[in-house]
Amino acid sequence: MIHVTRIQGRRTEHKFKRPPGMRQIISVSLLLAVVLFCMPSVLTGMPLSVTGEPQATLPAMPESTQTSRWDRGRAVRLAHSDDTVEELTMEEYLWGVVAAEMPASFELEALKAQAVAARTYTVSLQNSNKGKHPDADLCDDSACCQAYISHAKAQENWGQNSTAYSEKIAQAVLATDGLGVLYDGAPIQAVFFSSAPGQTADAVAVWGNSVSYLVGVDSPEGDEVPNYHSQVILTAQQAKDLILAAYPGADLSADPALWLGEVTADSAGWVTTLSFGGLTLTGSKARSLFSLRSSNFTAAWDGAQFVFNVTGYGHGVGLSQYGSNSMAKTGSDFKEILTWYYTGTQVDYLWT
């Protein structure tokens, strides 16, 4: 080894021998340096970034759940459309529900709100024991229970965004682990839908039953919603066929111009009743019968056909998904979103 020094501008070299054992000392020092550099990763279990700092991970769980993951300890029996029943953990199931029910591009707080609503709805069905699905807790049909998509299918649909979206939804489920929406200490029927015309609907107006926490509230979504405004046009014959298929005894012998009677709606435009061909239909029934995107519509006969102009999508009761995303964009967190749409409720743990 050569040691170089400078003395008054002169360069001198001193040759000396490495002391015995120096090679071993240097090797041990290097090994210790590597161990110390990697120690944060060993202690925390987190990968290191190029700067040596721990990389970002999912948010830490509340202290009470650090040693017990609620969702992983709960089972969900899911009936598929092919009549098979699959048993999943609550965590696995909720990932598939959120991926199927809400666009993964939505704000994280909106996805968290969706995860909590879906968890609450699932638990309320598990607790009801109504026997809708004798061999399962619920099914994967959104018209009956909740939509569900497998991890593989969702990633196929997302394409190049599959990794980011998959992790984002996993984070929404993990960050809300075990949380639900409660009213008087019990899980609610946390129903949800796509989009509203500025205000959600009362449950009593849609389904005929009054529910304290399912009342109409302002909802901030608007024209950013795809197909927010839609239109359905039916000829007289098409309308007649639809009516008679559902109500064979209906009298449609009069001029089609006389079939459409009074339409009653609330202040937000949600139709409560529609008179058609001597029948009185609820807005929800008319929506289903005429394949309208929501029961917020106007109806008219223009001399040749029936024209339905529709706003929003879904039944209109409870949590609005696009409204949730709008609230998240302006700073609301998932708890604020949920307690806004479900009046008088609290967000708390479903299990203790």
Instruction: Please write the tens of the pLDDT for every residue from 276-298.
Output: 999 999 999 999 999 999 999 99
Helix, strand, coil in percent for the chain, rounding step 5: 35, 25, 40
In this predicted structure, the answer to whether residue 73 has a pLDDT above a threshold of 70 is yes
- Residue range 124-147: mean pLDDT, rounded: 89
- Residue from 137, 113, 135 nearest 125 by CA: 137
Residue 297 neighbours by CB under 8 Å, 6+ apart: 269, 271, 283, 286, 287, 308, 309, 310, 311
b/e map 165-194, b = 16+ CB within 10 Å: bbebbbbbbbbbbbbbbbbeeebbbbbbbb
What pLDDT does residue 2 have? Answer: 38
Is the predicted pLDDT of residue 241 greater than 90, yes or no?
A: yes
What count of residues does the chain have? 352
Structure tokens at 169: 């939804």
> What pLDDT does residue 128 have?
85
Residue 66 is predicted with a pLDDT of: 43
Residue type, position 326, single letter = S
CB distance 188 to 120 below 8 Å = yes
Q: What per-residue confidence (pLDDT) applies to 69? A: 81
Helix/strand/coil for 132 = coil
At 214, which amino acid appears?
L
Q: What is the pLDDT of residue 177?
A: 96
Measured CA to CA, the distance from residue 317 to residue 19 in angstroms comes to 82
Confidence of residue 180 (pLDDT cuts 50, 70, 90): very high
Q: Confirm if 110 and 102 have CB atoms less than 8 A apart.
A: yes
- Of 112 and 41, the one with more pLDDT: 112
The H or E element containing residue 204 is helix 203-207
Give yes or no for a contact between 295 and 267, defined as CB atoms under 8 angstroms apart: no
- Predicted structure pTM score: 0.79
Longest dimension (CA), the chain: 118
| Stretch 200-211: mean pLDDT | 94
| Neighbouring C-alpha atoms within 13 Å toward the C-beta of 281 | 25
Tell which wins on pLDDT, 292 or 25: 292
> Does residue 37 register a pLDDT over 90?
no
Percentage, residues of the chain above pLDDT 90: 75
User: Does the pLDDT of residue 108 top 50, yes or no?
Assistant: yes
Separation between Cα atoms, residue 72 and residue 89, nearest integer Å: 5
Q: Where are the domains of the chain?
A: 68-222+317-349, 229-311
